[in-house]
Amino acid sequence: MTGVSPVTVPPIVVLDEIDSTNAEARRRAEAGAVEPLWLVGLRQTAGRGRRGRAWETGEGNLAATLLFRTERPPAEAAQVSFVAALAVADLLARYVPSHLISLKWPNDPLLGGLKVSGILVESGASPFGGLWLAVGIGVNLKRKPIDAERPATAIATYLEAPPSPQEAAEVLAEAFERWLRTWDILGFRAIADAWTARAHGLGEPCVARLGHETVEGVAEALDADGALRLRLADGSLRRITAGDVFFGGA
């Protein structure tokens, strides 16, 4: 992203303790918050991940949510999760070697092949028209979760003195704003191409768990709308728009 002019980053509000930065973003949105802002929780008592899973933040890790309003339709607005993943990749690249960083569909940033971050996007009708979006991002800076559902890691595994949550939030906010601007100016194709350049597992066999159905195939590519193209054993193509995808151990 060299040569890109400076961006204006929304204010960052640091909260010593909060139930969940996404829950606080929702409360503010429903109370009529208009201007975009970042919420950072130094301690979360009820962090949440995708599909209602608990998200353990851990002391010294980053729990942040960007709240903003958009006029994009819901299906298009949901593509912001890919913007968030690219911003996390840029954050990680500030502190660890770039070759260790990859992105697993739909929105799992990996470090050394292990989960290091989680992204949760929530939305609702804004009182001022359009949608409010709460883009929740958790990054393991200092420690990995004790009871992780899947193998996890932290920046501290590779760096003796990882960044503080406040420092990481500033780096993340700037990276996010740059990718958001890329999306606005060049469209989702530019985001999809950048995401694909860091993709984990493309061309490899995988298992997709889709609610009450499990599908196996080879992950081919990211579609123009962010869906994962899965080539099944019979040669047919299946578009995966929601679910969990597993490649080997990841």
Per-residue confidence at 1, pLDDT binned at 50, 70, 90? very low
**pLDDT score recorded for residue 243:** 86
Residue 147 and residue 54 share a domain: yes
**pLDDT score recorded for residue 164:** 97
Dist. CA 228–CA 105, nearest whole Å: 7
- Give the closest residue to 136 by CA, choosing from 93, 77, 85: 85
Residue 158 and residue 222 share a domain: no
Can you tell me the mean pLDDT for 213-234? Answer: 92
Can you tell me the mean pLDDT for 79-90? Answer: 97
Residue 241 and residue 121 share a domain: no
- Lowest mean pLDDT of 134-138, 181-185, 245-249, name the range: 245-249
**pLDDT score recorded for residue 147:** 61
Which domain does 220 fall in, by range? 205-246
Residue 227 and residue 170 share a domain: no
**pLDDT score recorded for residue 127:** 87
What CATH number does residue 213 fall under? 2.30.30.100
Pick 250 or 11 by higher pLDDT.
Answer: 11
The long-range contacts involving 199-203, CB below 8 angstroms and separated by at least 24 positions, are 199/102, 199/103, 199/104, 199/105, 200/102, 200/103, 200/104, 200/108, 200/110, 200/113, 200/247, 200/250, 201/104, 201/105, 201/245, 201/247, 201/250
Residue 65 and residue 177 share a domain: yes
Mean pLDDT, rounded, of the chain:
90
- Lowest mean pLDDT of 6-10, 104-108, 199-203, name the range: 6-10
Residue 149 and residue 82 share a domain: yes
Can you tell me the mean pLDDT for 144-156? Answer: 81
Domain count, the chain: 2
Residue 62 and residue 104 share a domain: yes
Q: Is the pLDDT of residue 249 over 80?
A: no
Can you tell me the mean pLDDT for 70-82? Answer: 95
**pLDDT score recorded for residue 238:** 94
